Every structure is written in structure tokens, then in C-alpha cells.
């Protein structure tokens, strides 16, 4: 989603956070010579080590704390008038509901229509073609999903990635485990190529900081219980142990125990 120019107002920002906090952000950024915004239409930026100020028509300094803050304030009312559950993370939006009958299907479609209307009203750019439709069930569903957003059919998929975790429509974690193993192996092989002549401590550190976080990311959600999946993850750690300590059984905690 992309925020258009001239859309922020002091009322929107104040509705998302205490005014004193916003004033503090503005004062700090202005004193640092970065950017100052308030009232929605006026920004001043200054050149480093120079007393030169110029008026800007729009924009926020890239990489600043104020940019994400203003974006969240701008989209904070996207959930209003929604009957379905909606979740926001940065510029990603997920909307879902439990489907029991055709009435639930219609309600979800109406919420998607409201989302499209909200985007038009707030001059937001949403790419329906990048959206995905997926149903989570172990029952055999023959009817395809025919949801649309802004008059564009949302493509149906069997799996999707959300916050770095792959969700399958049959509620299995096979794709997530395979993806994690592949990504961890890639990171491990990268460190093995670079640190061929390093000592044990040198080889141990990149595994702990680059490879194992990949194996453990989101594991509280998808922690496998099948022996084949557990073995596939353990093989990555054993290979790293053999590379670092020339043994497959070092004094490392197992992934299952962590």
C-alpha cells in the first residue's frame, strides 16, 4: 500500500498517539536537522551544518522513525465497519472469517468491497493481483474461491507466506520445514565456503548467529512432530557441528530441546 501526498493531518496523527509524543518526535527530528512535519501540509528540511531551510510540498525523510509512524496512523482506521477479522502488520493486511454457509461467504465479500472503498476514499494504491485467497480446512472442498477486490478476482492458492511462515490450506507444516531446511543449508554452505581455514570458535560463531536463527524462526508455531521432519532439521545442525568441531555430537543443545 502506498500513501498519497497531502493526506496526513494533525487529527489523524493525534488519534493514533498522544499529541505530546508526536510533538516530541517532531522536535527531536527538527533539532537533528532531519525533517519536521505537523499540520499535514508543511515540511521543513535543513542542510547539515548550514543555516539553509527550504519549504517542501510533501514527503518524509527516508529511513526516519517518523515515516512508519505516520503510515500506521494513516491506515489505523482500516478496520472500521468490518464484520470479519482483520490483521495489520506494517503494509500487509489479512482479512478472514469462519465460513459455515453462503451467508458467511457474502459477508466476507462485502468486507472486501468495503476495503476497496476505503482504499479509493483514502487514495491508497492496493494491488489486487498481489493478493491471495486461501481456505484452511481438512475437508474436501470442490467449489473454488471466487472473492474479488476492486473488481479484480483474487487468485486462489494452496499455500501462502505470512510474516516469513508458510501456511498450507491442509494445515500441514511440510512446506515450511522444507523451506527452512533449504534456507538454513544455503546459509551454512555460505559460511563453510568462507571459513574453510578458521578455527572452531570462528566456525561456531556464524552458525549460532546466521544458521540456527533460520532453523528456529517461528518454531513456536510450526515445531514439527514427525520424525522425518525433525531429522531433516537435525541434519543441518550435525553438518555444522562436523564442520566446526569435526564431530556430529558437540556440546550443543538439540533443536528439539531448545
How many CB atoms within 10 Å of residue 220? Answer: 7
Residue 20 grid coordinates: 505530546
- DSSP SS3 for 88: strand
**pLDDT tens by residue, 173-188:** 999 999 999 999 999 9
| pLDDT of amino acid 18 | 54
Do residues 240 and 185 lie in contact, with contact meaning Cβ atoms separated by under 8 Å?
A: no
Q: Please identify which residue in the block is written with the cell numbers 536537522.
A: 33
- Cα–Cα distance, 159 to 166 (Å, whole number): 7
Q: How far is CA 254 from CA 86, 168, 215, 241, in A?
A: 37, 27, 11, 11
| pLDDT of amino acid 179 | 95
Candidate ranges 1-15, 24-38, 54-68, 122-136; pick with highest mean pLDDT: 122-136
CA angle at 150 for the pair 148 and 155, rounded to the nearest 5°: 35
Q: How far is CA 67 from CA 32, 33, 58, in A?
A: 16, 15, 12
Q: How far is CA 83 from CA 53, 75, 219, in A?
A: 48, 17, 31
| pLDDT of amino acid 53 | 44
Q: Model pTM?
A: 0.69
Residue 25 grid coordinates: 518526535
- Cα–Cα distance, 231 to 234 (Å, whole number): 5
Q: How many residues does the chain have?
A: 258
Please check the confidence at residue 38 and state whether its pLDDT lies above 50.
Answer: no
- DSSP states along 183-222: HHHHHHHHHHHH-TT--HHHHHHHIIIIIHHHHHTTHHHH
> Is residue 90 left, alpha or beta, with left meaning phi > 0 and alpha meaning psi from -120 to 50?
left
Question: In whole numbers, what is the pLDDT of the chain averaged over residues?
Answer: 78
- Cα–Cα distance, 45 to 164 (Å, whole number): 36
Across 21-30, 43-52, 120-129, 153-162, least confident range: 43-52
Please check the confidence at residue 56 and state whether its pLDDT lies above 70.
Answer: no
Amino acid at each position: 500500500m502506498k500513501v498519497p501526498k497531502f493526506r496526513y493531518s494533525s487529527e489523524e496523527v493525534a488519534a493514533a498517539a498522544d499529541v505530546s509524543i508526536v510533538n516530541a518526535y517532531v522536535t527531536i527530528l527538527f533539532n537533528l536537522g532531519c525533517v519536521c512535519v505537523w499540520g499535514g501540509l508543511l515540511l521543513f528540511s535543513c542542510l547539515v551544518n548550514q543555516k539553509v531551510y527550504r519549504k517542501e510540498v510533501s514527503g518524509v525523510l527516508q529511513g526516519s522513525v517518523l515515516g512508519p509512524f505516520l503510515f500506521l496512523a494513516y491506515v489505523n482506521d482500516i478496520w472500521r465497519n468490518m464484520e470479519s477479522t482483520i490483521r495489520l502488520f506494517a503494509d500487509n493486511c489479512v482479512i478472514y472469517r469462519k465460513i459455515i454457509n453462503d451467508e458467511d461467504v457474502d459477508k466476507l465479500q462485502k468486507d472486501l468491497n468495503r476495503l476497496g472503498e476505503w482504499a479509493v476514499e483514502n487514495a491508497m494504491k492496493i494491488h489486487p493481483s498481489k493478493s491471495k485467497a486461501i481456505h484452511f480446512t481438512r475437508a474436501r472442498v470442490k467449489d473454488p474461491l471466487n472473492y474479488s477486490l476492486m473488481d479484480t478476482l483474487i487468485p486462489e492458492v494452496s499455500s501462502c507466506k505470512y510474516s516469513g511462515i508458510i501456511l498450507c490450506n491442509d494445515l500441514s507444516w511440510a512446506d515450511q520445514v522444507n523451506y527452512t531446511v533449504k534456507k538454513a543449508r544455503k546459509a551454512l554452505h555460505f559460511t563453510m565456503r568462507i571459513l574453510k581455514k578458521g578455527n572452531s570458535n570462528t566456525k561456531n560463531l556464524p552458525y549460532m548467529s546466521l544458521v540456527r536463527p533460520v532453523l528456529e524462526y517461528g518454531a513456536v508455531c510450526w515445531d514439527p512432530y514427525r520424525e522425518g521432519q525433525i531429522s531433516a532439521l537435525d541434519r543441518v545442525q550435525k553438518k555444522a557441528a562436523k564442520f566446526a568441531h569435526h564431530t556430529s555430537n558437540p556440546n550443543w543443545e538439540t533443536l528439539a530441546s531448545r
